[in-house]
Amino acid sequence: MAKVEILVGTTQGGTEYVADDMAAQLTDIGHQTQIHLTPNLTDLDPDSLWLIVCSTHGAGDLPDNIEPFYRQLFGNNGDLKSLKYALCAIGDSSYDTFCQGPEKIISELDRLDAKPIVNKIQIDVQRDPVPEDAALAWLSEWQASI
C-alpha cells in the first residue's frame, strides 16, 4: 500500500476535518497516512503521494498555515519529477476567487515537474455544505489506484 502525505491548508479548521476523514478512509484500506497542518518541504517524502486539502482565504489567498510551504516551493529550483499529487480544493462560489488559493501551490508543483494522479476536485460549500461527503466520494473513485 502507499504512503500518503496529507497537506492541509485551513483558516478556521473546517478543512482539517475533511483531511481527517480522508486519512481515516485511506487508513481503513491499508494506506499509511500522515497529516501535516504546517507542511514543511524538508519533512515531506517526495516518493509518497501528496494529497493537498486546502481552502481559499481572503481574495484568493492561501491560508496562513500553508503559506510558508508555498514560499518554500516558490523558492525551490530543484525538480519533483517523481512526485505524484492530488488536490482537494474547498471554497465558496459566491466569491470570484473561488478555490484560487490552492492553485498557487499546484502551479509551483507543475513548474517542478510533479504530476497529478487524478483530476482535482473543487468543493463548493454553497452546494456541498458538508464538504467531507464530496471529498470522500471523490477519494473513493480513485483511492484503489494508488
**103-142: pLDDT as tens digits:** 999 999 999 999 999 999 999 999 999 999 999 999 999 9
State CA 91 to chain mean position distance: 13
pTM for the whole structure = 0.96
**61-98: pLDDT as tens digits:** 999 999 999 999 998 888 899 999 999 999 999 999 99
The C-alpha atoms of residue 72 and residue 43 are separated, in whole angstroms, by: 12
The C-alpha atoms of residue 8 and residue 21 are separated, in whole angstroms, by: 12
- Mean pLDDT across the chain: 95
The C-alpha atoms of residue 142 and residue 132 are separated, in whole angstroms, by: 16
